[in-house]
Structure 1
Amino acid sequence: MDAVTSLAPSSPARALAREVLIRGPISRGDLAARLGLSVASLTRLSKPLLDSGMLREADGAAVASIGRPIRPLEISPDSHRFVGVKLTGDTAAAVATNLKSDVVGASERALPGHDVQDVLGAILDAVADLGPLDGLSGIGISIGGKVGPGGMVLRAPFLGWRDVPLAELLQQRTGLAVAVENDVVALTVAEQWFGAGRGERNFAVLTVGAGVGYGLVINDAVIAPPDAGLGLVGHYPLDPSGPRCMEGHRGCSSAVLTIPAIRSQFAATTGEQLPYAEILDLAATGHPVAGAVVEAAGQSLGLLVSAVANLTMVDLVVLSGEGMDLADVAETALRDSIAYHRDPEAAPLRLSRQPSDFAQWARGAAAVVIQRIILGTLH
């Protein structure tokens, strides 16, 4: 814990730690070149990080040099432990991770209610399931809603919250560094630092679940203005003749892509209320109604992916969220729709499918607290 929070405050030291975390193992020469430092300055900056155990010399072939061989630098992943928690309207799903955001444990606690103290209790119980507090370096919380400075939850519709100082309350209860972030922004950070976007300067993230989410990285920076927590992409128009969403918008992404929307469309035709996974399974085996609903959703998802890529000019879109199994079952419709809506001379669009479970969201929360501690924006 102390080695992370006492990381030298200078920008070069933090930039060094970030580069090794994201790009390691990396040679000292390459690292010096990326940071614009002399090898002597790099050696001086890296020494306290090596002494603390946060960095280490990688095993394997050493870099050729005069005198003692020098091995590339890498993060020592098990030198610190974090917990990330994804809050929904029903549960606090938590994961323990190492410094590289690898999941090493998981826990889930039901929320006894939406009162702030009830939710705090569920979070603390989920964290306690994963080990003692004195073994942690920080806690990250991701939540569907709008988050302001200092981890203030300005709006969380699934919990009925407004203006809840969640980070402050948790910090008081635990004594640990706490980061609170919108869930899609947190997931985007995780993909940027540790996932499909690692080493990519520009990419987008699309999520499908109870809602539709959108994250964007441009020039290696997560684009996260205050309105990022409003889920604005959920009302992007996709089908002018489609069903209406709860806000009355016809054929928007919330009305045609989400888990509730697909279940509702299937039930409207068949009269059957089936779980989402069963509808996808039926579609995969040729059920006419399920197949039509899922194919139409796949075409709409392709339109949304294309719109994101066309408007931002990224060529990598990460597909995630607990409802994104749609992209697998409707893969042909998805890709045909992308091809139709893209200029044939545009760069090929890369799609990266990520696991469809709540652990990914919780891992995103852990990634945010790791990022902010490394960058020195959280104390």
Structure 2
Amino acid sequence: MEESGAGFVVRTQAESWLPLSPGERSVAIEVLVHGPLSRTEIARRLDLSPGSLTRLTKPLIQEGLLVEVEEAGATEGRQGRPSQPLDVVADSRHFLGFKITDDTVYGVLTTLRSEIVARLDRSLAARDPGEVADVLAGMTRELSRGRPRPAGLGIGVGGLVEGRSVVGESPFLGWRGVPLAALVEERTGLPVVVENDTAAFVEAETWFGAGRGLDRFVVLTIGAGLGYGLVLGGRRVPYSGDEDRGFGRHWILDPYGPLTPDGRRGSAVSLLTIPNIRYQVRAATGRDVGYEEILASAAAGEPMPARVVGEAARALGILVAQIANFVMPQKILLAGEGVGLMKVAGDVVENTIRDNRHPRAAPVVLETRVSDFHDWARGAAVLAIQVLVLGAAQV
């Protein structure tokens, strides 16, 4: 291997496993997400004959994507032919993921199994698409310095993304029709995939996180905005338009609730997002208070913050209960920078969920995670793994 002018370590072997046949892709994804797996288990999961499985796995092993590993618990002196499950070579390729907010770019470098090996943040001095692409290119060089050339690059953006390449609209950045993938590809020489940030986050959780192995799974994120992702049959249901940003503005949880600048009166967005919670407190007190301070004041029993936080907690409980009633998910993951609400008023949320469910309904499995923007960047890297390397279908 040798150092290139871009700061990458150039491999002497093939850079990519592409193109994978549909059968090879199915085997690779099964092992990547659920491995290590025995050949018997892979054949059972994919309904393959032993001969077909051997034909599909042989090139994947030769190309360095899969490797035979010792079976867990194997001991010396064991009788018979040793079992050698298959696993992916996680550090054989690296991937970049970026999450763009209105003022910062968060970046990570991950392995093939989305394990973060490096992270980096950069402030945005401007939101001009070309300048943002320059920042992404600089971060790509820094994150990749001294490491093998990344196999692909994913970018998550809040807003509507078209064809996994063009930012159709991003209110946070003030963009319309920005060909972001092309701008970044031109500057980095890497293949690029762009996606809505919530969609990318959902994909990462479905393959490698809270939704791994589940047929019905929901991700609900609260923070600067409200995000929703639905997984059915183990696959994310794609957005048909802009409903990721729009559903919360029109999902009315309390018709007599607060009227805020963003979202209809009493909507999920009006009640739950950080900007609107801050707006409600500012409108009532005349003070511009940060979200964490509002939560602390509510926990201390200050009347106005306590009322606003209590209303948000009840709204969240209603929203989770309604999702559970209609979708019947095996698990709901609540994530985002706004989930500190659960620490202060989690009992209100849980009581409200019960009050809005049938008494005999199965309990809602609600997993709460305070996620930072590096987790969202990791989601973008997973999109790069899915689309650019494994060639997974558009999901």
Q: Same fold (TM over 0.5)?
A: yes
* CA–CA separation in structure 1 for the residues paired with 2:357 and 2:128: 47
- 8 Å CA contact 1:315, 1:347 repeated in 2: no
Structure-2 change in CA distance of 1:375 and 1:229 (3 Å): farther
Tell whether 2:263 aligns with 1:251. Answer: no
What residue identity is the alignment partner of 2:157? I
Equivalence for 2:51? 40
After TM superposition, list the pairs within 5 Å mapping 1:222-233 onto structure 2. Answer: 222-228=236-242, 230-233=244-247
Equivalence for 2:312? 297
Equivalence for 1:363? 378
Tell whether 2:125 aligns with 1:112. Answer: yes
- 8 Å CA contact 1:80, 1:99 repeated in 2: yes
The offset of 1:304, in angstroms, is 1.0
Equivalence for 1:286? 301
Helix, strand or coil at the partner of 2:301: coil
* CA–CA separation in structure 1 for the residues paired with 2:193 and 2:149: 17
* CA–CA separation in structure 1 for the residues paired with 2:128 and 2:353: 44
The offset of 1:322, in angstroms, is 1.1
- 8 Å CA contact 1:151, 1:180 repeated in 2: yes
Helix, strand or coil at the partner of 1:104: strand
* CA–CA separation in structure 1 for the residues paired with 2:295 and 2:123: 27
The offset of 1:69, in angstroms, is 0.6
1:124-166 CA deviation, whole Å, 9 max, x = no partner?
A: 1222221238521110000011111141111111111111111
Q: 1:199 aligns with which of 188, 213, 219?
A: 213
Equivalence for 2:5? none
Q: 1:326 aligns with which of 327, 341, 354?
A: 341
After TM superposition, list the pairs within 5 Å mapping 1:263-282 onto structure 2. Answer: 263-282=278-297
Q: 1:23 aligns with which of 5, 25, 34?
A: 34
After TM superposition, list the pairs within 5 Å mapping 1:339-378 onto structure 2. Answer: 339-372=354-387, 373-376=389-392
1:336-364 CA deviation, whole Å, 9 max, x = no partner?
A: 11111111222221111223211111111
The offset of 1:219, in angstroms, is 1.1
Task: Give 4+ residue runs of structure 1 displaced > 4 Å after superposition.
Answer: 1-4, 62-67
Helix, strand or coil at the partner of 2:176: coil
Q: 1:142 aligns with which of 150, 153, 156?
A: 156
1:102-127 CA deviation, whole Å, 9 max, x = no partner?
A: 11111111112111111101111222
Equivalence for 1:121? 134
Equivalence for 1:317? 332
* CA–CA separation in structure 2 for the residues paired with 1:38 and 1:268: 67
Structure-2 change in CA distance of 1:3 and 1:310 (3 Å): farther
Helix, strand or coil at the partner of 1:375: coil
Tell whether 2:229 aligns with 1:220. Answer: no
Structure-2 change in CA distance of 1:304 and 1:69 (3 Å): same
Tell whether 2:94 aligns with 1:81. Answer: yes
The offset of 1:8, in angstroms, is 4.7
What residue identity is the alignment partner of 2:390? I
Equivalence for 1:336? 351
Identity within the alignment, %:
43
Equivalence for 1:177? 191
- 8 Å CA contact 1:206, 1:318 repeated in 2: yes
What residue identity is the alignment partner of 1:222? R
Number of residues paired by the alignment? 378
Helix, strand or coil at the partner of 1:44: helix
- 8 Å CA contact 2:262, 2:269 repeated in 1: no
Structure 2, unpaired ranges of 5+: 1-10
The offset of 1:289, in angstroms, is 2.7
> Whose helix fraction is larger, Structure 1's or Structure 2's?
1
Helix, strand or coil at the partner of 1:226: coil
* CA–CA separation in structure 2 for the residues paired with 1:251 and 1:4: 52
Structure-2 change in CA distance of 1:275 and 1:16 (3 Å): same
- 8 Å CA contact 2:93, 2:148 repeated in 1: no
The offset of 1:9, in angstroms, is 2.2
The offset of 1:196, in angstroms, is 0.2
Structure-2 change in CA distance of 1:92 and 1:7 (3 Å): same
What residue identity is the alignment partner of 2:328? M
The offset of 1:77, in angstroms, is 1.2
Structure-2 change in CA distance of 1:197 and 1:319 (3 Å): same
Structure-2 change in CA distance of 1:25 and 1:284 (3 Å): farther
What residue identity is the alignment partner of 2:73? A
- 8 Å CA contact 2:153, 2:384 repeated in 1: yes
Equivalence for 1:61? 73
The offset of 1:80, in angstroms, is 1.0
- 8 Å CA contact 2:96, 2:109 repeated in 1: yes
Structure-2 change in CA distance of 1:44 and 1:232 (3 Å): same
